[in-house]
Structure 1
Amino acid sequence: MKRTGLAALTAVAALVLAACGGGGGGGQAADAGPPRPGGTLVFAVSSDAGCADPQQVGSNDSIYSMRQVVDSLTDQDPASGDIRPWLATSWQSNPQATEWTFQLRPGVTFSDGTPLDANAVKTTFDRVPSLGARGTLPKGYLAGYQGTTVTGPTSFTVRFAQPNVQFLQGTSTHSLGIFAPASAAQTDDQRCAGVVGSGPFVLQTYTKNQATILAKRAGYSWGSSLFTHPGEAYLDRAEFRVVPESGVRTGSLQSGEVDAIASIGPQDEAPLAGAGIELPSRANPGTPFGIVFNQSTPLGQDAAVREAISAAINRQEVVSAVYTSQTRPATSALASTTPDYADRSAALAFDPARAGAVLDAAGWAPGPDGIRARAGQRLTLPLIYAPVIATNRPALELVQQQLRAVGIDLQLQERPVADTATIQQSGQFTAFWLNVSRADPDILRAQYGTAGPNTFRFPAGTPLDALLTAQAGTLDEAQRTQQVAQAQEQLVGQHLVIPVAELTTTLAVGPDAHDVAFDASSRIQLHGTWKSTP
């Protein structure tokens, strides 16, 4: 099957174990002997979303731990993009892609002992549409959801009001991981204290902004067909510590206090590599880091301002100065590793002279301090960002300098990651700096379509909106590729979004940790991870 397996609407595959592609890392595994069970992996991250519910987190730092707690119906091969069995052994769609029928593995249980059957899947999916602001991702994957019909203990059909081609890939994500019915029934805030899943690890304790501690699930035997070994995870425990300071994370790894860290800066690469620490990396699919406007605000509706901002940003300079050596400048509204990516780099060229000319023509004249103004209003752009990775602030400070050079006053407003969903839902913002990782081009509809949450207040009834809706229901892969390419052309050509840098996830993994694997969305999977010194 190509990409998400939509070329053939039926996928029946044996649960044969396969090596997990797309990266991994840690500790010179070839010299460490065979994997051994036991030990605790200590992983330092830079932030915490303030919630321990996989369906209500969107930042990688929180997804890293929550991915281990829930299993998904399917998995996605990081190398090929193919959809592979996990909890589901087979699936098929009707010709319109409005109904998806699945067969489950028998004998799976949640960590509270209840069975993971078709009713549990129905309960999980039925709850998603009522999630609040933090549940944007799963609600997007279930757009047009009409319900789930259970036809047997291990058989069910998911129904949609309109064709939903992207749903199959959505079933491979943490956002549609399956919950025990008792967890699914809880309120949003109750679920943020922790949920019960069927994954290879169980949430032991969660302390907001401090640590998430996982314990191995005894008796686990229903892993993804992409997992590298059957049965239980090797590790006894995994501890995710929140360490905001980049230097402290790096020092803790070098001293052996932690086994792995996220959010590696360019200044860390040479010292860590010189100390014998591996730096596995993988480019993230989805939307690149960039500026997204609230289209209902005056600046968001000002085409000249949007064009000038895009032309004034030197993306290569930002990437070279701030990010790790594997990082690439953004060249479209999708990252280059996303299926159906289309190169729009010509529309993203660095051209400060053009930026100035566009602003001049629109009546934005330079003031005494160099900042432009029009009709008494200074050209000030308040931009909200969250410190989800260490590179966000330095990248934006450099963008701030670049925009000031053409007379735009970029005002940086840092907000806790736990607050961003609420701010977006309120509409009380002008622009956000963010990215979203997903290995399917439908992320564009989830972010910028008007039928869902429409966080950025895009207008309905536009050609762009029609394209985003159409691609979600198009079964013909070539036609869908064309629609997605046209959507990227409009997003970038009209500067509705201003992509700046593709996110490349670079970890640092110490010599005692092995096989920290990336999944298709460049998050980590710890089922096959092990310690040489438990």
Structure 2
Amino acid sequence: MSLNRRLAIPVLTALLALTACGTSASPATPAAQAPAGAPASGGTLVFGVNTEPINLDPHASPQDVTGLFTRPVLDSLVALDDKGGIHPWLATSWEISEDGKTYTFTLREGVKFSDGGVFDAAAVKANLDHIVDPKTKSQLAAAAFGPYEGTKVIDARTVEVSFSKPYSPFLAALATAYFGIQSPKALAEGPEALAKKVVGTGPFVIDAFVPHQGITYHRNPDYDWAPEGAKHAGPAYLEKLEIKVLTEDAVRLGALTSGQIDAIASVPPVNVKQVEADPKLAIVRKQAPGGNYNYYPNTASGVFADQKVRQAFRDGIDFATIVGKLYFGTFDAAFSPVSPATQGYDAATESQWRYNPEGAAKLLDEAGWTGKDAEGYRTKDGARLTVRWPFLKSFAREQRGTLAEQIQAEAKKIGFEVVFTDVTATDFAPKAIAGDYDLVDFSWQRADGDTLRNLFAISNIPSGTFFGQNLARYDDAEVDGWLSDSLATTDLAERAALYAKVQQKVNADAAVFPVYVFNYLLGVSKNVRDIGWEPQAYPTFYDAWVSKA
């Protein structure tokens, strides 16, 4: 599933999630599309996507894809680059206390919300407090907030954010659209209004959001506070931006190839070569950071509470071959819970485990699943080896439903019965909270290695009061210690070493079944220039323009 990732599920992808969103200076313009002349102001860019937000408020939404729809409207205090560097945006500078618990920001002057409100320290406090307000029911943003204590307004241009413990990932989280700064006037209108429209200081303003159809935006003529690293200053080049929801791959691809729209998300892997062969089109790839598209076994109860059974499932299925054939090589097989584009990725995981059906059979024997019934499934004490998998079919993208069916068929060969339950996002939430499943699937796009804490910290196991992303329900004190230590240092090398230990341990415990590394496959027509990327691998449109040639 990818609630794109979800409702009450972690990305449950998209979305991933995947789980940071500062503006990057790297353009999405292929060599074949080298701009001719200076950027042109005006025009409309129409972008087709394969999923939609269920709630436009990124503070509340559980979907990381919400960041794609709200980033045109919302700026952040800081921006994040592809190498993990933090840069000024709405905050011109900041200081971190020696104990790592207090962040003091100096804010940019002269910034206004599109509703006329003034951006100041009180607005920052209103936004951060809104994220942690129980009434917001934040799932994604709150999970990235760590041990937040509160925000203090020092003066109109200075704000102080405090934590009960050191929290080094804060700036990277702050750079995402999920911490985008909204108008306090809009926040005061309540959750129902925010779910349909958000108001920010960004380069675009929302005209209308029509569920199942998309969102239209117009240029903010007063915009003059782009982040460091942007390709230009002042208002956006585009006069209008339109994001259309086209869930059917064939429809979305046809709209691009026929020239009805300018760009599309998620070009179907089977059609990548077709698009690349068209002289009017190009494919731009961007590997997503954060949690890969993974399967998460319930390590706390059911058949996967036994580590040998978990390892047998993972090692007994040739994930790499299935992924390679289904996606025509456009996605790489995953070996770690996080992608190579993530800060702190450990390449040693690529040789840590391998496809081994003979070893899987031996593990199942050792776990006591020595019998076989008439249909060939393993049994123990008369019970069949059954894996219950609640699957959000309506949110499945990138042929994940087809992939799941192929995994089901391969699992049968080694003795597992995989049973799908087609659930809605609303159905899934109580199952997740109660641990009423054996296996779940999602991606979780985030640029920072702290995504591992979201996915495996004990405190992120879902409960009746907090919907965490640790759906593996993984409970390991040693891993928790490493994740806690990573919060106390801003040294990227030290954090990477700790994250490497986490990746190695969760693989050794088979607490995750890595499936594939998501590549954003952007299809663009030749008239589209300078679509940018956030480090989280979502396209951005501030620098984009449409060529008249």
CA contact (8 A) 1:264 1:390 kept: no
Q: Secondary structure, in 3 states, of the residue corresponding to 2:237?
A: coil
1:132-143 counterparts in 2 under 5 A?
Answer: 135-143=138-146
Shift of 1:464: 1.6
Displacement after TM superposition at 1:29 (Å) = 3.8
Moved more, 177-186 or 88-97: 177-186
Amino acid at match of 1:214: Y
Q: Which amino acid aligns with 1:181?
A: P
2:370 paired with 1:355: no
Report matched runs for 1:214-229 at 5 Å: 214-229=217-232
Counterpart contact for 1:49–1:418, Cα < 8 Å: no
* Partner SS state of residue 203, structure 1: strand
Give how far 1:388 is off: 4.7
Same amino acid, percent of matched pairs: 28
Task: Work out the CA distance in 2 between the residues paired with 1:499 and 1:371.
Answer: 24
Unaligned runs of at least 5 residues, structure 1: 1-18
CA positional deviation for 1:25? 2.9
Distance 1:288 1:49, change over 3 A: same
Alignment of 1:362-441 (within 5 A): 362-364=367-369, 365-386=371-392, 387-416=395-424, 424-425=432-433, 427-441=435-449
Matched, 1:303 2:307: yes
Deviation at 1:24, TM superposition (A): 0.7
Distance 1:527 1:401, change over 3 A: same
Q: Please report how far the alpha carbon of residue 248 of structure 1 lies from its aligned counterpart in structure 2 after TM superposition.
A: 1.1
C-alpha offsets along residues 231-289 of structure 1, whole Å, 9 cap, x if unaligned? 11111222111111111111111011111111222211111111121111111111111
Aligned counterpart for 2:106 among listed residues 103, 107, 111: 103
Instruction: Report the secondary structure of 1:65's partner residue.
Output: helix
Letter in structure 2 aligned against 1:464: V
Do the aligned residues in 1 keep the contact of 2:136 with 2:191 (CA within 8 Å)?
no
Aligned residues: 515
Q: Is the 8 A contact 1:265 1:324 kept in 2?
A: no
Matched, 1:479 2:494: yes
Cα distance, 1:317 vs. partner?
1.1
Kept in 2, the 8 Å contact 1:385–1:415? The answer is yes
Sort the Cα spacing of 1:415 and 1:239 in 2 relative to 1 into closer, same or farther, 3 A.
Answer: farther
Contact 1:330–1:499 at 8 Å: present in 2 too?
Answer: yes
- Alpha-carbon distance between aligned partners in 2 of 1:132 and 1:438, rounded to the nearest angstrom: 25
Q: How far apart, CA to CA, are the structure 2 residues paired with 1:422 and 1:93? A: 39
State the distance in 2 between where 1:94 and 1:407 align.
56
- With 55-64 and 177-186 compared, the bigger mean Cα shift is at 55-64
Contact 1:118 1:156 in 2 (8 A): yes
Q: Offset at 1:320?
A: 1.3
TM-score for the superposition, normalised by structure 1:
0.91
Instruction: Give 2:43's aligned residue.
Output: 39
Mapped pair 1:91 → 2:94 = yes
> Counterparts of 1:97 and 1:224 in 2: how far apart (Å)?
25
Which residue identity does 1:525 align to in structure 2? T
Take 1:410 and 1:36, find their aligned partners in 2: how far apart are those partners? 54
Q: 1:393 to 1:32 in 2, by over 3 A?
A: farther
Q: Report the CA distance between 1:58 and its aligned residue.
A: 5.0
Aligned-residue offset at 1:177: 0.7
Deviation at 1:419, TM superposition (A): 6.6
Taking the aligned partners of 1:133 and 1:417, their CA distance within structure 2 comes to 18
What corresponds to 1:236 in structure 2?
239
Deviation at 1:20, TM superposition (A): 4.6
Change (3 A) 1:238 1:384: farther
Report the CA distance between 1:447 and its aligned residue: 2.1
Distance 2:361 2:237 in 1: 58
Distance 1:20-1:50 versus aligned 2 partners, 3 A rule: closer
| Aligned counterpart for 2:317 among listed residues 313, 316, 331 | 313
Alpha-carbon offset, residue 295 of structure 1:
3.4
Once the two structures are superposed, residues 313-371 of structure 1 have per-residue CA deviations (whole angstroms, 9 ceiling, x without a partner) of: 32321331223534221121221111111131233311111111111221223322122
Distance 1:20 1:251 in 2: 30
Aligned partner of 2:483 among 468, 486, 489: 468
Contact 1:59 1:388 (C-alpha < 8 Å) held by counterparts: no
* Maintained 8 Å contact 2:298/2:304: yes
Question: Residues of 2 paired with 1:490 and 1:189: CA distance?
Answer: 42
Instruction: Say which SS state the counterpart of residue 126 (structure 2) adopts.
Output: helix
Aligned equivalent of 1:15:
none
Find out whether 1:201 has 2:208 as its counterpart.
no
Match of 1:445 in 2: 453
Q: Which moved more, 1:372-381 or 1:99-108?
A: 372-381
Could you say which residue in structure 2 is the equivalent of 1:10? none
SS in 1 for 2:139: helix
Matched, 1:513 2:532: no
Unaligned 5+ runs, structure 2 = 1-22, 461-465
1:285 matches 2:289: yes
Select 1:65's aligned residue among 60, 63, 69. 69
Alignment equivalent of 2:518, drawn from 494, 499, 503: 503
| Partner-residue secondary structure (3-state), 1:139 | helix
Task: Indicate conservation of the 8 Å contact 1:49/1:417, yes or no.
Answer: no
Distance in structure 1 (CA, Å) of the matches to 2:421 and 2:276: 34
Taking the aligned partners of 1:97 and 1:388, their CA distance within structure 2 comes to 40
Structure 1: distance between partners of 2:487 and 2:333: 27
Cα deviation for residue 37 of structure 1 reads 1.4
* Aligned counterparts of 1:324 and 1:410: Cα–Cα separation in 2: 25
CA distance in 2, matches of 1:481, 1:511: 39
SS at match of 2:247: coil
Q: Secondary structure of the equivalent of 2:325?
A: helix
Work out whether residues 59 and 130 of structure 2, in 8 Å CA contact, stay in contact via their aligned partners in 1: no
Deviations 1:347-405 (A, max 9, x none): 33111111111112212233221222222322222223443522322222222222122
> Residue deviations 1:169-219, cap 9 Å, x none?
111111111111123344444321121111111121111222122221121
Report the CA distance between 1:97 and its aligned residue.
Answer: 1.2
- Per the alignment, residue 133 of structure 2 pairs with 130
**Residue from 473, 478, 482 that aligns with 1:458:** 473
State the secondary structure of the residue aligned to 2:520: strand
Tell me which moved more, 342-351 or 434-443. Answer: 342-351
Q: TM-score, normalised by structure 2?
A: 0.88
